[in-house]
Copies of this chain bind each other. A is one copy, B any other.
Amino acid sequence: MSVALPRIDAIRDAAARIAPHAVVTPVMRNARLDALAGAQLFFKCENLQRGGAFKFRGACNAVWSLSDDEAARGVVTHSSGNHGNALAIAASTRGIPAHVVVPEGAVKAKLEAIEQAGAVLHRCAPNTPAREAAAAEVQRQTGADLVHPYADTRVMAGQGTLVLELLNQAGDLDIIVTPVGGGGLAAGCAIAAHALDSSIQMIAAEPEGADDAAQSLAQGSRIAGITANTICDGLRTLIGESNFEALQQHGTQVVTVSDDEVVAAMKTLWRELKLVIEPSSATVFAAVLKRPEQFAGKRVGLVLTGGNVDLEALPF
């Protein structure tokens, strides 16, 4: 499914649209982490966003982009967790129904949060065709608007708003590192960053066990599928078509990291920043530690994407 990439105007519109509802998340610095990395690190704390993840930005932009008639029929999505939770909360800000199709095996803490936010859960098998079919069935029955987790112009624009904030808070940056899964964040952030400063190097951190973006960039075309095997539950999806094109257009480099590197980075971030972040968020710091020569002396923005973890099932 190919969708239009948002332009910077759409990202600025999204920023205004979500402002009444979203948190301007803080940017944290840490002297010990700077010393470890040999760089100046600016951590954009989207784990402190509503719903505990950056996903609220895109979902909120989509919900508030609807006409009143469209909104009244509700919204639907399929999501392993954070996007579903975000859409449920975003729908609640407008008082409209939300339906979330969740694959079996999703993180329990995330499912509970989605239900708490008032959405209707629909279970399905843990693969992309099953998710899309279940969402289509809900659409057919309710007329709800599909808000895709990443292959959606409104969602990409919403995610890009965090870079507008980050550059405003941190000043000029040489590099911005985001995780990459479906690529809504990586695409939105690249578009926003380069509209403001075309010299910023965009880097996408990807788990080795779901390295379709890295493989796709290496072969110059999007690979058809992966069997994801990684602790990073938010990054197991195949990158979207348009999202992949955005990575190519913006010269985004992918750095792959092992699950062991992710867990080590996660522990270091918890210990030093005192923040609860989920494994997907730790990929960005793991990437910096893996390529010290690339980051040495640079001003680096790192997007900590979310903090929704099962506290009873921590990987350490």
Contacts and interface: CB of A to CB of B under 8 A. Distances in A.
A130 B32 CA distance: 33
A149 B40 CA distance: 33
Interface stretch (A98-106, A151-159, A272-280): A272-280
Contacts of A277: 274
Interface string A253-282: 000000000000001001101111100000
A311 B276 contact: no
Contact of A311 (B28, B271, B273): B271
User: Which 10 A-B pairs rank lowest in CB-CB distance, beginning with the nearest?
Assistant: A274-B307, A274-B276, A47-B274, A270-B276, A267-B311, A311-B316, A48-B274, A52-B274, A276-B276, A270-B311
B312 A271 contact: no
Interface residues of A, number: 21
A143 interface: no
A228 to B, nearest CB: 25
A267 B267 CA distance: 17
A277 B117 CA distance: 25
A219 B312 CA distance: 41
Contacts of A28: 48
Give the interface SS of chain A, mostly helix, strand, loop or mixed. helix
A138 to B, nearest CB: 27
A112 B307 CA distance: 26
A267 B109 CA distance: 12
A218 interface: no
Given A47-B274, A271-B109, A276-B274, A312 B307 contact: no
A224 interface: no
10 contacts: A28-B48, A47-B274, A52-B274, A109-B271, A270-B276, A270-B311, A274-B276, A274-B307, A275-B276, A311-B314
Contacts of A316: 311-312
Nearest to A268: B311
Nearest to A116: B32
Given A47-B274, A52-B274, 4 more contacts: A28-B48, A32-B116, A271-B311, A275-B275
Interface in A270-310: 270-271, 273-277, 307
A209 interface: no
Contact of A314 (B47, B48, B275, B314): B314
A26 interface: yes
A47 B276 CA distance: 12
A47 B272 CA distance: 10
A256 to B, nearest CB: 25
A242 B314 CA distance: 43
Interface string A7-28: 0000000000000000000101
Interface string A38-63: 00000000011000100000000000
